[in-house]
Amino acid sequence: MRIGFDIRSFLKEETGVGIYLKNLLSYLSMMDWENEYYLFSTSLKDRFPLKKVPEFKKMKFREFYFPVKAVDFAWNKLRWPEIDCFFRTNLDLTHSHTPLVLPTKGKKVVTVHDLYFMDYPDRVDQQAGRYFTNQIRSSLKRAEGIITVSKSTKRQLLEKFPVEEKKIKVIYHGLDPAFQTPVSPKYKEKITQRFSLPQRFLLFVGSTEPRKNLTKLLQSFPLVRREYPNMHLVLAGPQGKDYELIQKRIRKDHLYPWIHITGYVSQTELKALYRLASVFVFPSFCEGFGFPLIEAMASGVPLAVSNKSVMPEIVKNAGLYFNPHDPEEMAGKVMSLLDDNRLRQRLIKEGFQRASHFDWKKAASETLSLYQSLIKEKR
């Protein structure tokens, strides 16, 4: 079986979708020695680091100098050229890590991570949202296989699109085993100094996007500081559309001495931040899965999380929940975790157990089984 992928999503900084594809391919390369993998990348100025290319036993990796936007336009709008052309062979199946199929002569699989742009249309460009919705509707119709990364996303998909349920398979993401390994006291001290961290702080991990709801988190933080005046807040992750809005909120409320914005952090830095944090806070309105949730649970930090979207499905009994629209309730749950050590320890224990359910080897195996079942149908 010849299987094609567009691997541009983990060319540089790796966030949700890129982490998903990188780990999926990495584990497929360890378990699948029979099938051939065809990996595509393109960029005008950036070259794909060869050390990041998964080491499949049977593989062809092709990299081009085409503009990224030009390729996206050609594939998503014109449905041309077929990815098969770049490898000069007919692929049996291609897997897109987005809801938009890759043009190909073979079977098509897509992964749908979330439908945020439909759940919160007021937080995205309306014209772009309508265009993307139409594109996804067409793509889902053409795809033979659809992967969702949670039951929550599957339910939404069935509610919003005329999709055959038998085409959908729920496959959870896995936990990177690195988050289950210890961090040395020396490295923790190094990270503490690098980011000028205090002894106690709340931690959020993610980009500064509207759906992450950081404005409400910033409204709740002064309520926590009334009871815990030495408490700080660390926001770790790449800049997004809400970055300037968040900066204005911090200036308006005179919060600069207690807020630490790290920007994008490496995995090793993130491991240390989780282990140094007093509480992990995740106020997001909408997630498809939420990697930081399982990373925090595996790292032994108690969680206070939004009660919306996929959060209860992923965290279950390992966290305290709040209404993300209510800063007072958010602050109250955070303070419960700071006040009650018995509660903290119970949730930390529950978190370790819950995080152990998410396994990349299992995810890759289930994905490969889907490929095989689709190819059997073809024959």
Q: What is the mean pLDDT of residues 20-43?
A: 95
Cβ burial 190-213 (10 Å sphere, 16+ → b, else e): ebeeebebeeebbbbbbbbbbbbb
The share of the chain scoring above pLDDT 90, in percent, equals 83
User: At 305, is the pLDDT very low, low, confident or very high (cuts 50, 70, 90)?
Assistant: very high
Tell me, yes or no, if the two domains 2-174+359-378 and 177-355 fold the same way.
Answer: yes
Give yes or no for residue 10 having a pLDDT over 90: no
* Run of H or E including 220: helix 214-227
Sequence-distant (≥ 6) Cβ neighbours of residue 51 within 8 angstroms: none
Q: What is the mean pLDDT of residues 126-149?
A: 85
User: At 129, is the pLDDT very low, low, confident or very high (cuts 50, 70, 90)?
Assistant: low
Interval 268-291: pLDDT, tens: 999 999 999 999 999 999 999 999
Give yes or no for residue 303 having a pLDDT over 80: yes
Contact 274, 179 (CB under 8 A): yes
Gyration radius from the chain CA atoms? 21
**Taking the domains of the chain in order of start, what are their residue ranges?**
2-174+359-378, 177-355
DSSP string, 56-105: -SSEEEEEE---HHHHHHIIIII--S-HHHHHTS--SEEEESSSSPPP-S
The hierarchical CATH code for the domain 177-355 is: 3.40.50.2000
Give yes or no for residue 101 having a pLDDT over 80: yes
Q: What is the mean pLDDT of residues 247-271?
A: 93
Question: Up-side HSE of residue 96: CA atoms within 13 Å toward CB?
Answer: 25
The CATH class for the domain spanning 2-174+359-378 reads alpha beta
